A = this chain, B = another copy of it.
Amino acid sequence: MRSGVTREECVALDRADPLASYRGEFVVEDESLIYLDGNSLGRLPRATVDRVGQVLDAEWGHGLIRSWASTWVEMPTRLGDLIGTGLLGADPGEVVVADNTTVSLYKAVSAALDSCPERSTVVIESANFPTDRYVVESLARQRSLDVRWVPETGPEPLGADDLAPHLDDSVAVVVLSHVDYRSAALLDMPVLTALARGVGALTVWDLCHSVGAVPIDVHAAGVDLAVGCTYKYLNGGPGAPAFTYVSAARQRKLAQPIWGWWGGADMFDMAEGYSPQADIRSWLTGTPGVLSLAAVEPGVEMVVRAGISAIRQKSVALTGLAVELYDAWLAAEGVTLSSPRDPDRRGSHVTLSHRDAKAIAAELADAGVLPDFRRPCGIRLGMSALSTRFVDVYDGLAALRNAVTATRR
């Protein structure tokens, strides 16, 4: 593709796109809106409207309490298996969906720490997403841990050479984000996991910005624990619950810290003394939110059906187009590329920086283009392969060019 790519060429790319039909599976009421924030909140699948309606009418309204036994009780593991086997390279019984990402991270990091009480250091990127850092800070305060902050490497991904100096046999757990929420830097999961394991540390991977957009194989990478959200590329809805992966091998050795009746061996035994479930359900706490859980299923099914290879292929083309248009239109206008140029090192969004980013984002919103503004000066353009078109990227970048020009005046 030449840097002088035309809108007509983008229309042609959309016409030839094998995933083009998926856009029709989403509710798109306003075709004039250019939505480049599917990495923050994915669009609403049409099937989700039906699924939630079914939960309300048939399962809650009509089935009432009986629906717990007939269907709801299995939702956290059924949905976990769908995500685990379909998108993570996990086996059935290794993933569960419940609680939010923050609580899930708290459980995962806490369990990792408990498994090796003789170690008291946590390693985490200083550029990691705030909630990941806050969770580590709260556990560090509770347990008098030593936190090692790995300096920011952005926009390039944290590499083995960056991580290695922070690892030694005092490290209990390494907390990393697979795709950086700002730069979209894509970390090498197998290499970094192996590096941590080399010093006897466990890894907790945050998959929020990669699941559904980037191929993941937790088994091949030897990942111990992972947590991810379902409301970005999985289109699970605002605040949809998170998933937690615990490798089968680790499940026998790891215990999460928030004991509740859903994690207990027999939920209705009402027994004295907590005894955890013998499987991934021990990672449950209390009653999961059924409406939110049910809303996750159709989006995940769609992503699995489309296939992560096809999604990744289109995603790389979309972000590549954004970079190409940046080069052609914005590089000379005071805008910086804050994402890796190499598609193999990049997730499914592209961040551009400008000192007037806030004003530019406001201009864009007025022009019907919705990216994400990230302080202090980032404009994050998210491409969701199942609903974002090549023309959306073209029109969005064109609007961005206009907004940059407008704010300079």
Contacts and interface: CB of A to CB of B under 8 A. Distances in A.
B274 A231 contact: no
A264 B130 contact: yes
Interface stretch (A59-67, A156-164, A388-396): A59-67
A238 B290 CA distance: 6
Given A99-B99, A239-B288, A290-B238, A65 B48 contact: no
Given A102-B262, A134-B260, A287 B52 contact: no
6 contacts: A27-B61, A37-B64, A99-B103, A100-B286, A269-B375, A270-B374
Nearest to A294: B291
A29 interface: yes
A370 B60 contact: no
Contact of A100 (B64, B229, B271, B288): B288
A364 interface: no
Contact of A289 (B129, B271, B289): B289
Interface string A169-203: 00000000000000000000000000000000000
Interface of A: 27, 29-30, 33, 35, 37, 40-41, 43-44, 48-49, 52-53, 55-57, 59-62, 64-68, 72, 99-103, 106, 126, 129-131, 133-135, 137-138, 142, 229, 231, 237-242, 257-264, 268-274, 285-293, 295, 370, 372, 374-375
A203 B261 CA distance: 21
Contacts of A99: 99-100, 103
Contacts of A35: 64
A258 B106 contact: yes
Contacts of A257: 138, 142
A29 B62 contact: yes
Given A130-B270, A237-B290, A290-B238, A258 B66 contact: no
Given A270-B374, A274-B138, A44 B27 contact: no
Nearest to A44: B61
Contacts of A60: 41, 44, 237-238
Most central of A49, A66, A133 by chain B CB within 10 Å: A133
Given A239-B293, A295-B291, A372 B261 contact: no
Contacts of A102: 258-262, 285-287
Contacts of A372: 65
A61 B29 contact: yes
Given A60-B238, A271-B130, A287 B100 contact: yes
**Closest 3 A/B residue pairs (Cβ):** A102-B286, A102-B260, A100-B286
Nearest to A240: B289
A374 B40 CA distance: 43
A272 B137 CA distance: 10
A56 B44 contact: yes
Given A101-B287, A102-B260, 6 more contacts: A43-B64, A68-B238, A103-B103, A103-B258, A131-B262, A291-B292
Contacts of A129: 261
A116 B61 CA distance: 46
Contacts of A100: 99, 260, 285-289
A56 B52 contact: yes
A309 B295 CA distance: 37
Given A65-B372, A130-B271, A131-B260, A49 B56 contact: yes
A72 B126 CA distance: 29
A124 B195 CA distance: 45
A134 B282 CA distance: 12
Contacts of A101: 286-287
